[in-house]
Chain A
Amino acid sequence: MDKNDHYKYMQIAIQYGDVALKNNEVPVTAILVNNKTKEVIYKAHNMTNLTLNGTAHAEFEIYKYLLNKNPDSHLSIWKNSTLYVSVEPCIMCASMLDQIGIETIVFGCPNERFGGNGSVFNIRYKSKYKVIPGVCHKEAISLLRRFYINQNDKSPTSINKKKRTLKLSEFPKIEYSKFITLQEFIDIWGEEYKDIYINNEFLDFNNDNVLKLPETNSKRQKS
């Protein structure tokens, strides 16, 4: 995939969150995209409530679909694809992706409690896949918040919903160094973006899906 593709495809993954919300599932969404043809092979969301299976994460749903559809070639499809997933894969999914061997994982926000691409462990033992963190970081968090706000509203112990909306415009920073090295970041986005990594700025994209220069850089240019 080209670096200017990542924002576009992550948007598609995030939009699929509406389906997860409709199904009353925690909106963690993923899409698998063919690196060459750029075809979206499959979209999935977390299915743990519908299936009663605590392992039915979006990544596993894609695996099941592909295995079923292309039992003979699905593993080579993974090797030539990029996974866009709204939240950092958990340890289980990161290990699964490591075992089957994917090419690249792009994720939105970190998974602080269970993350397997750096938050808790960094599981790249076997296939050394590429990791691109923080694409649509804020959108991924907002999607999760939409779910949890709904849940709280349903709960009888819910208190004072108005105050909750205050928090919605605030987002925790993402610490890129937990997930990838500075060199890896530069290899993905280019030397001119390295201050984003150093200062842990958010990844912002312009209308052509091109990553905007770091704030420090653009300020310098203006002055």
Chain B
Amino acid sequence: MSFQIDYQREVLYGVLQRISPSISKIKPNLKEYWICSIDPKNSKKVLSLIKSRFQRTTDELRHLKRVCKENEDGNIVLSILLCPVDGDYTENEISDLLKDVTQQNDVKITKKCIPMNKPFDKEINLEWSKKFWPLLWKGNPLVQDLNEIYKNMNIQKVQSYMDQVTKLSLKEEGENPIVTIFVDPSSDEIKSVVVDKRTSKDIIKHSVIDGIAEIAARELQLRQERKIQDKKANNYLCLNYHVYTTHEPCTMCAMALVHSRISQLVYLKPSIKTGGIGKNSGHGEMIHLSCALNWKFEAFQYIDKEMFVSVKDVDSELYV
């Protein structure tokens, strides 16, 4: 499968250019964690406490060692990652929980900043391990990321949706033939097709904002008609949706997609001056990755020359 993945350029199937930061620019994404230092004889008890209380931290700590052996004046002490400082438990509560399981009053807990992302280089891995907290190295995560994305990518679908936005764009006679399609990949259902309809009076009526609003309004109406009062009903309506669009969204729209929790964006034309996604667009914000502690999504530029030429450029100052 490897010839369909260009690991150097991060291109899949020769047409999907992944938008990710340059490897050398990766900085640790630090989060404060509570850490306890315990006698090794208590390790089982504390680990079972983690299983029962802090289970949901397992995923985000997969790249780190959970337990770290340290030598304190000749005594072996275990440092263990517990849970985020801004999480569900206060210092007192954690202290009480530890007291309960270890039957000791003097379990030391401290705060420490640990990296929530993985470096793409073995040397930096070592450097961060020394500086922050021991990281595991299971091979280059970039390669793993790309393999994972490749495995889940249905390229025929991507091509067909990009064909659709392109065709719709060609039909548009207005000044801004920007077209966006929202798709629920779990059912392969189109949830919204939007053409940019901004006016000089409503200048933020961008296609992404309109699409999100349309999906919300429709669902709201449905729920009101059915009078559903399901408190567990998911309010993140675009959760894990895929979005296809002709022109790279602006910072506002890119962030609207983060708030809406989509999982993938594909765009055809970069917006060099105003875009919020591309490495070299706008102010280089790469919004899809900028609030990674809360949500991030994968973004790709679709590199197809014919399509690129056929879709009309918009004014370079325009916020798409």
Contact surface of A with B, Cβ cutoff 8 Å: 48-49, 51-56, 63, 67, 71-72, 74-75, 90-93, 95-96, 99-100, 113-114, 116, 120-121, 123, 125, 157, 159-160, 163-164, 166-167
Given contacts A99-B203, A160-B93, contact A121 B220 (CB under 8 A): no
The digit string for B231-263, where 1 denotes a CB below 8 A from any CB of A, is 000011110000000000011110110111100
Contact surface of B with A, Cβ cutoff 8 Å: 88-90, 92-93, 201-204, 209, 212-213, 216-217, 219-220, 223, 235-238, 250-253, 255-256, 258-261, 276, 282-283, 285, 287, 290-291, 293-294, 319
* Chain A contacts for B283, CB-based, 8 A: 121, 125
Residue ID in chain A nearest B222 by CB atoms: A52
**Cβ–Cβ contact A52 & B291, under 8 A:** no
Question: A93 CA to B252 CA in the complex, in Å?
Answer: 7
Q: Which of B236, B252, B261 contacts A95 (CB 8 A)?
A: B252
Q: Which of A54, A121, A164 contacts B236 (CB 8 A)?
A: A54
Residue ID in chain A nearest B261 by CB atoms: A54
Residue ID in chain A nearest B214 by CB atoms: A53
Question: A212 CA to B48 CA in the complex, in Å?
Answer: 52
* Chain B contacts for A55, CB-based, 8 A: 209, 212-213, 256, 259-260
**Cβ–Cβ contact B260 & A54, under 8 A:** yes
Known: A113-B291, A121-B251, A121-B285. 8 other contacts (CB 8 A): A52-B219, A53-B213, A55-B259, A92-B256, A95-B319, A99-B204, A113-B293, A166-B90
**Cβ–Cβ contact B93 & A123, under 8 A:** no
**Cβ–Cβ contact A164 & B90, under 8 A:** yes
**Cβ–Cβ contact B256 & A120, under 8 A:** no
Residue ID in chain B nearest A120 by CB atoms: B290
**Cβ–Cβ contact B93 & A96, under 8 A:** no
* Chain B contacts for A72, CB-based, 8 A: 201
**Cβ–Cβ contact A54 & B238, under 8 A:** yes
Question: A157 CA to B202 CA in the complex, in Å?
Answer: 45
Given contacts A52-B219, A71-B201, A96-B252, contact A91 B287 (CB under 8 A): yes
Question: A163 CA to B88 CA in the complex, in Å?
Answer: 12
Listed by A's residue number, 8 A-B pairs whose Cβ atoms lie within 8 Å are A51-B217, A53-B237, A71-B202, A91-B252, A92-B258, A95-B255, A100-B204, A125-B282
**Cβ–Cβ contact A123 & B251, under 8 A:** yes
Q: Which of B202, B220, B256 contacts A67 (CB 8 A)?
A: B202
* Chain B contacts for A56, CB-based, 8 A: 216
**Cβ–Cβ contact B294 & A100, under 8 A:** no
**Cβ–Cβ contact A48 & B235, under 8 A:** yes
**Cβ–Cβ contact B219 & A90, under 8 A:** no
* Chain B contacts for A160, CB-based, 8 A: 93
**Cβ–Cβ contact B237 & A52, under 8 A:** yes
Shortest CB distance A2–B (Å): 30
* Chain B contacts for A51, CB-based, 8 A: 216-217, 220
**Cβ–Cβ contact A95 & B213, under 8 A:** no
**Cβ–Cβ contact A166 & B92, under 8 A:** yes
* Chain B contacts for A166, CB-based, 8 A: 90, 92
**Cβ–Cβ contact B252 & A99, under 8 A:** yes
Q: Which of A49, A91, A157 contacts B251 (CB 8 A)?
A: A91
Question: A167 CA to B95 CA in the complex, in Å?
Answer: 15
Question: A121 CA to B92 CA in the complex, in Å?
Answer: 34
**Cβ–Cβ contact A67 & B212, under 8 A:** no
Given contacts A91-B287, A164-B90, contact A96 B259 (CB under 8 A): no
Shortest CB distance B145–A (Å): 23
Question: A49 CA to B236 CA in the complex, in Å?
Answer: 9
A-B interface, 8 closest residue pairs, ranked by CB to CB distance from nearest: A92-B255, A53-B216, A95-B252, A54-B259, A95-B251, A91-B255, A52-B216, A54-B260
